[in-house]
Amino acid sequence: MCMRRLALAGALALTTVAYAADLGRELPHTPLGKPLTAANVPTIWPDGRGLPAGQGGVVAGERLYAERCQSCHGERGTGGSGGHLAGRSALAGPNPDRTVANYWPYAATVFDYIRRAMPPAAPWSLTADETYALTAYVLHLGGVVPADAVLDARSLVAVRMPNRDGFVPSSEAREAGVR
Amino acid sequence: MLSLMTARDGNGLLSRRHFVAGGAGLLVATPAALAGLDLPPGMTRPGGGFGVYGQPSPHEKHTARAIAANRDLPGNGVSWTPLQDLEGIITPSGLHFERHHGGVPAIDPAQHRLGLHGRVGKPLTWTVAELLRYPRVTRQLFIECGGNSNSLWNAEPRQTSAGAMHGLASCSEWTGVPLRLLLEEAGAEKGATWLIAEGADAGGLHLSIPMKKAMDDCMLALWQNGERLRPEQGYPMRLVVPGWEGVTHVKWLHRLELASEPAMSRFETGRYTDLLPSGKARQFSFVIEPKSVITSPSPGQLLRDKGVYQISGLAWSGRGAVKKVEVSADGGKTWVQAALDGPVQRQCFTRFRIAWQWRGQAALLKSRVTDDTGASQPERSALVAERGRHGEFQFNGIVCWAVDEDGEVSHVYA
C-alpha cells in the first residue's frame, strides 16, 4: 500500500498539472448507491422504443394547437415568441428553415419534446393522445403527413423525416458507433 | 523617457523584450505630498459591520450579467458574463453565464435523487447526502455555450460589449465526484457506448455523451468556486464535461441512462447542430475549438489619453491547453506573442497580456490562440467561407476591435 502511494506521488510529481481525475480512483470509498426499481422518466428512442400507447390525429391536433400553442407559435405555425414551426425553405439556400418538418431527423423526437417541454408553462400536462395529435398537426403544418393522418407509436416511427440523412456526426460520435 | 521604448513592432505593440531594454527609464516616482491632515474619510470614523455573505462594492454595480430572455417565458434565455469588467481567469459564481431553456428549478436537496439505469448490471439511486461521501476531485475549467458569439455569423458586426458578444463562456473551479466511480459501481455493460444525462428542470433537457468521455474525465459537480453550486448553475448537482460544449454540462442532473446509441433528443438534433452551406449539418460537435478575445480594451471602452495601455484577454481550447496567444494591432499584418498568466491549465481560461503604445493612431486589435495540439483560431472570413453564416453554433473566429483616433473602441470585421 505504502509502495503504491509512493509510486502514485512520484507519477504525479512528474507532470506539471496533475490529472486530477486519476486521483478519484485511488481514494477508498464505500459504494452507497441503492437499488433503483424504475426510472421516473422513460427515454423515447428514435426507433420508437419508449413511446406510450395512445393515438391522435391532425384534426384533434389543430384544435389543441389553437388552445395551447398558437399564442407563442402563431397561426398555423407561422411564428411568435416561440419560433415558427412550418417553414420549408431549403437548408442549402439563403434563408434555411431549421423547423421541425424541414430539419429534425426523427419524428419520435418531436413527440418526446412536446411531451416533456410543451406548453412551457405546464410541461408533462399533455396526455399521450394529445401529444400524438399535436405531433401529427406540427408534422402536417410542414407537409410531412396528410391532413387526415392519425399517429400512434407504430405509425409515428414509420414517418420518414425529410432531413433524416442531413447530419454529419463528429469523430467522437462516429467512434461511439453513430453513422 | 517614453522615447526609450518606442515600439518596434506593428502599430505600437510592445513585447516584453522592449520592457527589459527600456524599463528602468519608465519608473517615474511621484509620491503624493499630503497637505496637512487631509485624511481619507474612512480613517476618521468607524466603518460598517459584518455580513453573513459578502457582496461587491456598491460602486461596482455595473459589473453585471446582460440578460436576453423570451417575453412569454422569462426562464428561457441567456445571461452573459461581463468579460470586459473581469480580470484573472475565475468567473465569480454570481456572474457565470446562464443558458436555461425552462427556467431555474427550486430543488430541495433532501428530496433530490440521482438515478442511473439502462445498460448496467444494477440500476442505482443516490441521495445528495450519499454522494457527499464519495471521493472528490477539483479542476478549474471553462464552460462555453455552443451558441456563444453567434452574432458574429451575422453579416454586420454587432455593437455591444465584449461580454454581451462572447460572454456565454465562463470559468470556475469545479469540485465533485468523478463520474466514473458511479458508472463502475452500477456495472456498465460492455455495449454501453453512450450516456444519456437528464436535468430535473421544466423541459427535462437531456443530452447524449459518448461513454468514453464519461469514463475519462467527466465530473458530477457539487461545488463551484469553493461553495455549493448556485441554483442557476444546477444545484444540487450538474455534469461537468471538460472542454465540451456547454449544453452537455447538464444542470439539475437527476437521471443517467447507459445505452448503445444516443437518444437523438431535441438538443442534439433540432438545436446545437451546425448547418453548413451544403445543407448538411454537423452533429455532436462537442469539442470547443481554440478561441480568444481581447477583453481590454474592448467595445464601449474609451482610451482617454495617449500612452501605454495593457491589452488583456482570455484564451481557451476544449482540445487541451493554450500554447500561445499572439496579438496584432494592425488587423493581422503583424503579430506579437503575448505573455500568459500561469499556471496554464487544460480546458481552462488562460489570461494573456501585452503592452501597447497608443499614439492616437487608428488601430485594429486582434488576438489569435494556438493550443498544444497545434490547432489555432481561423480568421472570421475563413470560418464563414467554410461554414457559411447559418451554422449558429461553434463560432471561434478571430475577433477584431477597431480603435479610432478619438480612442473609441468598436467591433469590426477586418
Q: What is the ipTM of this complex?
A: 0.90
The b-or-e profile of B90-106 (16+ CB within 10 A means b, else e) is bbebebbbbbbbbbbbe
pLDDT above 70 coverage of chain B, percent: 93
Residue A93 in domain: yes
Q: What is the CATH number of the domain that holds B314?
A: 2.60.40.650
Q: Report pLDDT for B226.
A: 98
E strand or H helix that includes residue B92: none
Q: Report pLDDT for A22.
A: 54
Residue A63 is placed in which grid cell? 384544435
For chain B, the average pLDDT equals 94
A residues 141..160 contacting B (CB < 8 A)? none
**Quick check: B5 pLDDT over 60?**
no
Q: For residue range B12-38, what is the model confidence (pLDDT) as tens digits?
A: 898 765 544 444 444 444 444 456 888
How many distinct structural domains can be found in chain B?
2
Residue B7 in domain: no
From A20-29, A32-41, B167-176, B250-259, the region with the lowest mean pLDDT? A20-29
Residue A44 in domain: no
* B372 CB neighbour count, 10 Å cutoff: 15
| A108 with B264: Cβ contact below 8 A | yes
Q: Report pLDDT for A72.
A: 95
d(CA B399, CA A120) in angstroms, rounded, equals 36
**Quick check: B8 pLDDT over 60?**
no
> Residue B9: which pLDDT band, with cuts at 50, 70 and 90?
low
Mean pLDDT to the nearest integer, B104-125: 98
Residues B172 and B253 in one domain: yes
State the residue range of the domain holding B383: 291-412
How many distinct structural domains can be found in chain A?
1
Q: Which residues in chain A show pLDDT less than 50?
A: 1-21
The CA distances from residue A137 to A77, A86, B47, B203, in Å, are 10, 10, 66, 20
Q: Report pLDDT for A41.
A: 87
> Residue B276: which pLDDT band, with cuts at 50, 70 and 90?
very high
Q: Report pLDDT for B184.
A: 96
B residues 205..234 contacting A (CB < 8 A)? 206, 210-213, 216-217, 219
| A120 with B280: Cβ contact below 8 A | no
Q: For residue range B358-372, what is the model confidence (pLDDT) as tens digits?
A: 999 999 999 999 999
Residue A141 in domain: yes
State the residue range of the domain holding A61: 55-158
Q: What is the CATH number of the domain that holds B129?
A: 3.90.420.10
B70 in reach of chain A (CB within 8 A): yes
Q: Report pLDDT for A25.
A: 55
Residues B260 and B338 in one domain: no
Contact B288, B316 (CB under 8 A): yes
Residue A142 in domain: yes
Residue B11 is placed in which grid cell? 502599430
The CA distances from residue B163 to A105, B65, B236, in Å, are 34, 8, 27
Residue A36 in domain: no
Residues B248 and B302 in one domain: no
